[in-house]
Amino acid sequence: MKTVLAAILVLAATQVASAQSADPQQPAPAPGQTIVCCHQEPGAQPAQAPQPQPAPQVAPAAAPAQPQDAGADEGWKRPVGRRFMHGFRLGWTYIRNYDKVTDIRHDEMGQPTSIKDKYGLKSPNMMLLGYEGFYRIVGHSWLNVLMVGNVTVAGLEQSKFIPAASGLIGFEFDRSFQLGVGVNLTPDPDQPSHMIAAAGWTPMVGSIQTPVHFFFVPDTEGNHRMGATVGMTW
């Protein structure tokens, strides 16, 4: 009887020791399941699965250059623009050698006379008052073409009415500097027509142009005319 009791006590102590040595966090294995247990040091980080590497970026191929139209010539891209503008002019003119007697002009007695005596002028300097219109052919670049026409009246300050008309063709550079030549007509029966050359600058004041022009009218007898005009164009 004592021997059986001692065997029962030894068996119970053996089962208690086995239960205490088992990991309390480890779940009991299911029937037929094999558990692989590995020992992990305290504080060690769990091994991470390798991340997939992104595929290398391939630069897109450049688009092939589009061939230019074989029928388009270089420099002929936009149609020519046109615009008509006009405005008044004020100015001054000077007649050189206006008191010089020449054989081309004669008084009522048929004697040679000068411009001063024939028209009763008191000074070679006269005021100009006129109106001008021009047609601009826009080239869409630094050069435009101008066709200009104007009429003026001189000598009003001397109680004289001396009309003149001019027609010019010229060029405009960078929409600011103009240069042109043409014909000048006056009611002088001895020399009714002359050449005229003009040049000037046209700054912008808001949407209004303010041209400043200088002109020269040569004369075979030395009675050259020169002057300047300012005004507004819209």
Digit-coded pLDDT (tens) for 150-194: 999 999 999 999 999 999 999 999 988 999 999 999 999 989 999
pLDDT of residue 81: 84
CATH class label, 81-231: mainly beta
pLDDT band per the 50, 70, 90 thresholds, residue 107:
confident
Q: Is 139 helix (H, G, I), strand (E, B) or coil?
A: coil
Average pLDDT, the chain: 82
pLDDT of 136 above 80: yes
Which pLDDT belongs to residue 82? 81
Cβ neighbours of 149 (radius 10 Å):
15
| CB distance 135 to 147 below 8 Å | yes
Give Cα 57 to chain centroid, integer Å. Answer: 41
Average pLDDT over residues 199-226: 94
Q: Flag whether the pTM goes above 0.85.
A: no
pLDDT range class, residue 198, cuts 50, 70, 90: very high
Q: Domain boundaries in the chain?
A: 81-231
pLDDT band at 106 (very low <50, low <70, confident <90, very high): confident
Tell whether the model's pLDDT for residue 228 goes beyond 90.
yes
Question: What's the rounded Cα separation, in Å, for the pair 106 and 83?
Answer: 45
